[in-house]
Amino acid sequence: MVSNLSFFGDMMAQGILGFNNMDEFFAFHAAPAIAGIKPANLFSCPAKLLPQADEVLAHYAREFCDSSTRFKLLCRCREHILILVYDSKLLDELFQKPVTKNYLARYGYDKDISASGFLNKLAQKIAAEESFPHEIGIVLGYPPEDIEGFKRYKGHNFKCCGYWKVYGNAERAQKLFDAYTLCREKLMQALQTGATLKIAAAAI
């Protein structure tokens, strides 16, 4: 990371975001996607706490340019920014599956839409301040039955709750939750040795 961005980014992480540096901030919020075991992770941050978001994401894009990990500013909303970290290979594979194509077609998307095209349409929807697009759960690795269950029951009556609320296969979901938590723990531990986020992710 260039020196000025490293200094201000790490100072921001320490003083406001609660982490030692920006690598820890991203590892905590997006470890599974960075490690390539989950299609994507989405998280928000108060815009005033990360005013250099574009520069920070550009840095990580350069750091991970030879991998399938991507960093996207999905929305710069009034008070918050939405950051999506995703594995482009996993997303491309996901969008080749009939279950994905058929599910998104129910929301009016073309069955041949690409992952990048879908992300761009999501960004447009969010920027237009429409109701939050529940179909984003597809890129986050949520099973369609859990997305629909959340909509149907308005977030209630779920079987279990972890990284999302589960209405379908609770046993399968719990195994994924455990794997994601372990991934985050390992990545955070690797960063404690002084490794960069890129090197730490490759080691777990």
Residues 11-57 have pLDDT tens digits of 556 555 678 899 999 999 999 999 999 999 999 998 888 888 999 99
Q: Identity (one letter) of the amino acid at 194?
A: G
The token pair at 1 is 């990371």
Average pLDDT, the chain: 92
Q: Identity (one letter) of the amino acid at 127?
A: A
More confident residue, 172 or 18: 172
Task: Output the pLDDT for position 20.
Answer: 87
**197 within 8 A of 23, measured Cβ to Cβ:** yes
What H or E segment, with its residue span, contains residue 166? strand 165-166
Q: Convert 114-138 to b/e letters by CB count within 10 Å (16 or more is b).
A: ebeebbebbbebbeeeeeebebbbb
Mean local confidence (pLDDT), 145-152: 97
Task: Output the pLDDT for position 12.
Answer: 58
More confident residue, 127 or 39: 39
In sequence order, what E strands does 15-121 have?
40-46, 69-76, 80-87
How open is the CA angle 104-129-137, to the nearest 5 degrees?
A: 35
Q: Is 117 helix (H, G, I), strand (E, B) or coil?
A: helix
The answer on pLDDT for 138 being more than 50 is yes
What H or E segment, with its residue span, contains residue 114? none
Residue 204 pLDDT level (bands cut at 50, 70, 90): confident
Q: How many domains does the chain have?
A: 1
* pLDDT tens for each residue of 44-74: 998 888 888 999 999 999 999 999 999 999 9
More confident residue, 76 or 38: 38
Full residue range of the structural domain in which residue 19 is found: 3-203
> Is residue 92 packed enough to be buried (19+ CB in 10 Å), middle (13-18) or exposed (0-12)?
middle
